[in-house]
Amino acid sequence: MPVSVSTPADLVNVALQRIGYKGRVGNLFEGSAAAKDALDIYAQTRDEILRKGDWGFAERNLAMELLKSAPAGGYTPPNVWTPASPPLPWRFEYAYPSDCLDVRAIKGQSVFVMDFDPQPITFTVANDSALVPPRKVILCNVPDALLTYTGQVTDPTSWEPDFVEAFAAALGRRLAPALVGMEAAKLLIADEQMSTAQALAVQG
């Protein structure tokens, strides 16, 4: 199966080939039955497979944007909690990146060049309705935090071959019921599971 692709249509055609569909698509907006079905599920399937593994090409690292912080002295009179502070028991509230599909880790600013014994940091993702407009945020107790996350990578030319394989298998399984029938679709479930497992094993 070819793994070198440059457009979403290339990916759809790989998926169509996997399920034994005889036609091809020129682009996702051409109006054919295959193109319309693919357009409905393409982005959702791509993002789901990205979230499933720690794909190297999708890793992003950045210094987080601080939105709120607790008072330096804590909530002792006269300081009391208000919606202007992060919800308890969190001390810091950071912006959730617009292209973030999955938070992999929160890290503190290390005083050493290399940290040979990194410790997991507790965090949670929430929606802050006190902000205008309300927005998705990340809460933790680490000042000047660094974020490692899975980014939404939409350009197929930057995808790894193993991701292309896993994505094509998943896309084919979702297209099969409408294009080649339910019985054929059932046979593709094992193919998708094997392709995804192999891809995740390779990328670690």
**In the chain, how many H helices and how many E strands?**
4, 7
Beta partners for residue 135, in sequence order: 128
Q: How far is CA 40 from CA 54, 63, 121, in A?
A: 25, 34, 37
According to DSSP, residue 121 is labeled -
Confidence of residue 2 (pLDDT cuts 50, 70, 90): very low
Would you mind telling me the total number of residues written for the chain in this entry?
204
Check if the beta carbon of residue 106 is closer than 8 Å to that of residue 61.
no
**Cα 113 from Cα 179, distance rounded (Å):** 54
Domains in the chain: boundaries: 8-54+160-202, 59-151
pLDDT score of 188 more than 70: no
pLDDT score of 109 more than 80: yes
Q: Cα-Cα-Cα-Cα dihedral of 72, 73, 77, 79, to 10°?
A: 10
Confidence of residue 20 (pLDDT cuts 50, 70, 90): confident
**Cα 44 from Cα 46, distance rounded (Å):** 6
Confidence of residue 74 (pLDDT cuts 50, 70, 90): confident
pLDDT score of 27 more than 90: yes
pLDDT value at residue 78: 83
Tokens (6 digits) for 119:
């410790």
Choice between 197 and 157, residue whose per-residue pLDDT is larger: 157
pLDDT score of 139 more than 90: yes
pLDDT value at residue 178: 85
pLDDT value at residue 1: 41
pLDDT score of 183 more than 80: no
For the entire predicted model, the pTM comes to 0.83
Choice between 190 and 57, residue whose per-residue pLDDT is larger: 57
pLDDT above 70: percentage of residues in the chain? 82
**Cα 173 from Cα 15, distance rounded (Å):** 8
> What angle do helix axes 33-52 and 161-179 make, rounded to 10 degrees?
140
CB atoms within 10 A of CB 173: 23
